Each structure stands twice: as structure tokens, then as C-alpha cells.
Amino acid sequence: MSLLAVEALDVRHGLLQAVRGISFTVAEGEILALVGANGAGKTTLLRAIAGAHKPTAGRVVFDGRDLRGERANRRVRAGITLVPEGRKLFGEMTVRENLQVAGAHARRGRWTMDTVLDAFPMLRPHLEQRSGSLSGGEQQATAIGRALMTNPRLLLIDELSLGLSPIAVDRVYESLRTVIASGTTIVLVEQDLSRTLRVATRIICLLEGRIVLEGAAAAMTREQVTQAYFGLRHAGSASAP
């Protein structure tokens, strides 16, 4: 049985349908990357899985449990945690306080203050610094560390490298390897196709709220993903006789 199953999910923003009948599964320990242009529905999909955006149809099933009607806080207790786009840290609180808040009512598991800092050693010198004054890379590390403090079975990361310098991205991904090695199941949204192909076990490409390409990362080329990303495969199939 899959850890996560998304079944015929529809999600709207007012009159705009952002996610259109999407279905997929995620196995325990898998690293699934969602790619696609801005407006493809990636963030909305993650928010719907996390319980922050209510679907209009379909359902999310986690470890065999139908999550319809379950609020975001109950999903966190069940083991689903979202690292949102833009990090959304408590800027006036220190790094330590951001981590402690998340860990106050955490599930039992391997992630503690010490293990999070072992995975993200760049945070140790900044534990007493306000998170709002950190660099972009340090903020992203804090946001992922905060999510890990809940001991998730499923970690959702939205726009992992957005707005970060290449050096900062390298450091965050280096730490992410420790998280992956721990067996944590991850669904991430990432714009950097090269890194996506290296880190993910499977890729789903979205276009206008629909899945247009899905498969094992090792079996995909950058050209295939790029064509799906910009709708070239979709346009080609639609115009074929």
C-alpha cells in the first residue's frame, strides 16, 4: 500500500480551477518532484495535501486513512508537514525558538533539536539569531528543520531553491541528502531541472493543473521534462492527426 494516494483531486481558487482531476501515489521512502511553469498548480496541490486548501472534488489518502475533512493541524499530527513557499518563519523569533515551537507537540521519531542541527550544521552559529535576519539559505534550512521537528512521515517542500544563491542551494541540498538518507518520504516542488533529475526518484510534470508527464527520474531526459514543462509534448499530441 502506498503511503500517499491522491485520487481525482480538483482544487479551485474562486472561479479558477488550479488542479484538474489529478491522481498519483507516493511510496514510503520515495522522493517525488513536482515540476511545471508558474501557475501549473504545484503549490495548490501541495497545500491541498497538507490541508491548507480544501479540494472541490477527489480525496487525499494517507497511510490508508481518508483525510477528507481533516484540518491541517490534524494532518501534521498524522505525519504530513509542509515547508511553504517563502519559508513563512516567525521572523522575530530566534532559530532555536522556531525549532522549539514545532517540536513542542511533535510525533515521536528521530528528529530532535540535535539531529536537525546535525543535518543542518550551518544553523548552529545562528541559534540565538532572529530568523528574519538570516540569509535566504539559512532561512530555508530553518524552515526545513522546523518541519522536521514535527517528525513527519511525509515532508512537502514548496519551491526548495527559489530565490537562493547557487552556493546557498548547494548547502541546502547537501543537508537534504541527510534527510533523504533517513528514509523520510518527500514531495518537493523545484524549478531547477538539473537538481530535480539528480535527487528525485520520480517526477511529475504539471501543465495547467493536469499531469502531462510522469515517470522514474532515471528514465527521463532533461529534454523530455523541458518539453512537458512548456507544453510542447501536450501541444504536439493535441495537433497530431
Sheet holding 57-62, edge to edge: 16-26, 4-13, 57-62, 65-66
Cell numbers 500517499 label which residue? Answer: 4
Q: Which candidate, 82, 83, 74, 67, places its Cα nearest to that of 107?
A: 74
pLDDT for 33-44, tens place per residue?
A: 999 998 999 999
Query: What is the rounded CA–CA span in Å between residue 35 and residue 83?
Result: 16
DSSP letter, residue 130: B
Range of 174's domain?
4-239
Phi and psi of 121, rounded to 5°? -65, -20
Query: What is the rounded CA–CA span in Å between residue 184 and residue 136?
Result: 24
105 falls in which pLDDT band (50, 70, 90)? Answer: confident
Task: Calculate what percentage of the chain has a pLDDT beyond 90.
Answer: 78
Torsion of CA 162, 32, 35, 161, to 10 degrees: 10
What is the domain count for the chain? Answer: 1
Q: pTM for the complete prediction?
A: 0.91
**Could you tell me the CATH number of the domain that includes residue 114?**
3.40.50.300
3-class DSSP state for residue 7? strand
pLDDT for 43-87, tens place per residue?
A: 999 999 999 999 999 999 999 999 999 999 999 999 999 999 877
